[in-house]
Structure 1
Amino acid sequence: MTITGVAYGPISSYSRVRILHLVQERPERTIGELCDATGLHANTVREHLHRLIEGGYVIQTTEHRTVRGRPRTLYSAATGAPEASSPIAREKVAGAARRGDVMRSILSEPASDLGREATHQLDALVEHLEESGFEPIVDERRMTVDLTPCPHAASAPEHRPLLCQVHLGLMQGVLAQAGGPIAAECVQAARRPEECTVQLTVAGQLRIVA
């Protein structure tokens, strides 16, 4: 099932979103577990996982066995932690920082007042969101990311909570992979389906709410 409003990217189908949610929820899932949870055929699950690995959203490891038998392949979300870091995600973050530095140099724009690490975190976050079909607007004073109009606004209402949770998890992973003081806290409650604002936090700072 293709997600309405998103025509491209590794998260362009709801089945893929479900698989990503499962590995975000608990790491080291097997193909069999993902098949049982989604009702999808093993070949379909493998194809979805392949796309998610290519996007830098999932990593695969080999099971360490203490008994005889072929070790299984295990799948986890790429969270940016040392034990769950995707080489593709690392390159995306590094590339975003390089491109951001070049653009700031060309436009004579300063880095974020939050510091160099935070600037590069925001570079990576904006590129990730644009790749996912969003048009992010970052407000560094309020520490929010406005994603209105949300490309998932036309999705089935029952799918929206899972979509929001998965995308928040992806944002948290990108920020963690980039390394720095900024974290994604939550998706704010919205009055209209097309509204979407993500609340960020900065370590050691109080949030500005007005």
Structure 2
Amino acid sequence: MLKLGPRPSRADARAHLSTPRRAVLELLVEEQEPLTVAQVAQTLDQHPNTVREHLEALARSGLAKRDQLAPVGRGRPASVYTYAPEASFTSPEYAVLAQVIIGYLTHVVPDGPELRRHAREMGRHWGRAILERAGGEPAPTTRTAGAAVAYLRRMLDRTGFAPEMQREGADQTLRLPRCPVLELAKDRPEVVCSAHLGMAREILASTGGIEPDRVSLEAFTQPGACLLHVRSVAHPGEDLVVGPVENAPAPARPDEVVPARPVANPGTASRGA
């Protein structure tokens, strides 16, 4: 099935895996579908027993999730494995904390436009934190749009978005094929994607000369990536466009309070579609 939007970023936790085990996890992340031992073994050209050992180790560490297929005929039903959302975080506790913060924000600020404004402001604070940690990556001395976008690209790469530059005349677009908080973005795109937009605007503002209304974001509108646009002039359209996201709740009406979603236990969290 065609899936819109980016894929998860590669987490720091994967750096400690052996090369064969990391390859198994990467396959789960890339496919984003439940896979059997036989499917993984065939794709990676490894022995099923070896693959089963890797998959079970990933499940024990919380980087993968094991489920059982519905029984068909006699015999034990086959196990299937998917990557766990926590595989996109350095620690599962960061995933839980992020879910709690976003759930609380959507509970206390139910109004759509006001919620997005708060999320953008949250993103601006995030952007400033990224700049403070940049350390050895000073802002460009040349105050041009090209230098500013190149600097933003480096900051986004450090953050896990794996950005790719695209140009359309005087306008520039950063294609974002990875997302460090993909499951949260699917669950609450109006909050997470607005925060991403605010973060990008803050980083660009630090370089001088790029006004916020020149920066917009298309999220989950095409297969494989989101698109961050930096235009030569202000764009009159929506600053944030979110495509159809699987698992996302319907937008709230101004008079409707949306309760926070329950936070999944990090050991049993569902991967989502």
TM-score normalised by structure 1 residue count: 0.43
Q: What TM-score do you get using the length of structure 2 for normalisation?
A: 0.35
**Structure with more relative contact order (C-alpha pairs < 8 Å, separation 6 or more):** 2
